[in-house]
Chain A
């Protein structure tokens, strides 16, 4: 009967209860919408990291990443690529030679990372061809062609057909310089990464570095994200002397973001709910004040403090819970709508997002996995909100309450 009483009590003042329910719905919508936006942003960022930047797994000589010295190549060559490619879990594999260089044009110079790539397999792994904005890219038949990013091209005043000079050290520590012609300009969603990376054919770079047909890096793209650990373990067992890293180790900042963002979001929802809790406390206190005599009468008749607490608690829970489905439904509808269409932040945030490596298009995703936690936060809010009013009602003396 206490359950029934609690439910009916909250409808004694419909307008007041509806206002609180609406506040809960709006609060929940705000919290979940932020969660959905961040989830969409993060998912897109992780996708970019895997599909366009570092792939799922990379293999290097254990000493290569320390100073990027060209002599630390992988010894297995083509055979390794074929072996890795033959795994049923692997989608694509490519090899790269990598060196740090100074890029110089008539407009100035810049430090860059030169990636010597095999155009065909590179496109399968990092979709470089899809990012091409100008030019034709690298022609396997021609020598010393280079693809630079839009950001770098603008900075160094480069166009397709422009010439530039790359200077770096070879395996014998000699300074090597070579002229390259820009045959493509690419653009990704990660401006800082764009500015740093240029692409040449692997044969051109290997020849200049003096490493023959060797390479420094193998990038592995998997069919399924969930197989990451399995494949990483397999590769590590197969090539014990090689550094086998997953994207989480190569891009720890992304991993950190994924791991910590949820906590930030819960804190945001917690703050919203805390603010709401004071509204609920106010409503419940008013409700108790209005019913002082009735509560006094119930205590006089023999309703103990535990049951009274339960009554106030249930009323608070109901009050909070009424708004919850509306909050969830509106969030779900909004995220479904924007998940299909996306939110283009470039119209109001310019290139802010891409300067941090995020896509300017956000596809918010309903945080279904976090629903249990969100519901727990809502219930905790109700519990927190009911404590003070419940204590207040429990302290009412029946004689004094009945006089009111």
Chain B
């Protein structure tokens, strides 16, 4: 459904992304992993129309598309939950969920929007005290739920979630993972960024690894932890393996003692 071919993005002298290629098929969850600075969020912003790629092509539903601005991406059916959530703190929950997509532009249908907002939030089993409070009064987890509810409003074809479970509690994380599976079952594509390998393994069909702005392998969720870590960090010799090695050595020494 979504194909990237040779996507590059430069910020001045810095190449944030170079020659990124991968596909997301309908009914599939693709996890995007990588270390800090690997270019995950930049890639999401390119796909959301926030940044324009310096080179390369994006195909959506088989057709080449140019994502010139966020509304183009939204109209195509690409919804995004950004890492910084991109909510307006001075507006209330209903206004944020419907921002740019209000029902009845010349006389806002506040009642209809409030009902729809509650329906979406209840689907996510959200704990929001009131949808008429400004976003500023909500906690991080509640804001994240609002941002996810907003992405579902438009019935998108592809949902991109940048760190969707970072600020969520146990129950809400489970709800989001359930939701990702429900979305997949409906035949939509999901692109998820996460540092939480447990979450990634739980739902992903494929794991795309980025390292320093380049493709660094595509793994399946049953790949071993070592494989994943070495793909992310770029070597089998790294801080994580060194740490594991030291611990093993210590245990070995302990065992050797009488």
A binds B: no
A residues bordering B, Cβ < 8 Å? none
B residues bordering A, Cβ < 8 Å? none
